[in-house]
Amino acid sequence: MEICKVVKQVVSTVKNDAFIGYPLLLVQPLNMKLENKGSEVLCLDFMGASLGELVLIMKEGSSVNDMMGMAEAPADAAIIGIVDHITLEDQRIFEKSRAEAA
């Protein structure tokens, strides 16, 4: 799993039937200082995430397929959680309620 920030919504009028009903979001992986690391990742959204939210993603195709109830869907990444807060070394480094207020 990785912590990421939702940065873009992807709209596709034509897509694989396996993706119907699942929003597509582009997320930016973050390090533990909440700084960008690596390339953006296209994810199926299982949680109803919004732009700007911190999310947990899974980048394991077979696990995403299991969540979709399919043996072989053409998917390899999914949003599987929305982060409420992060505590690192006894210090709160992220609080969703504060981020929403800003």
Domain ranges of the chain: 2-101
Task: Judge whether 7 and 43 are in contact, CB under 8 Å.
Answer: no
The gap from C-alpha 55 to its chain's centroid, in whole angstroms, comes to 5
Its pTM stands at 0.85
Of 5, 2, 1, nearest to 54 by C-alpha is: 5
Q: DSSP state, 62?
A: H
Q: DSSP state, 36?
A: B
pLDDT at 66 over 70: no
Instruction: Report the distance separating Cα 8 and Cα 62, nearest Å.
Output: 25
Mean pLDDT, residues 38-66:
88
Structure tokens, 75: 């998917």
What pLDDT is recorded for position 16?
Answer: 76
pLDDT band at 70 (very low <50, low <70, confident <90, very high): low
| HSE-CB of 82 using CA atoms within 13 angstroms | 13
Of 54, 23, 32, 29, nearest to 41 by C-alpha is: 29
Query: Is 2.40.50.220 the CATH number for 2-101?
Result: yes
At 96, which helix (H) or strand (E)? helix 96-101
pLDDT band at 101 (very low <50, low <70, confident <90, very high): low
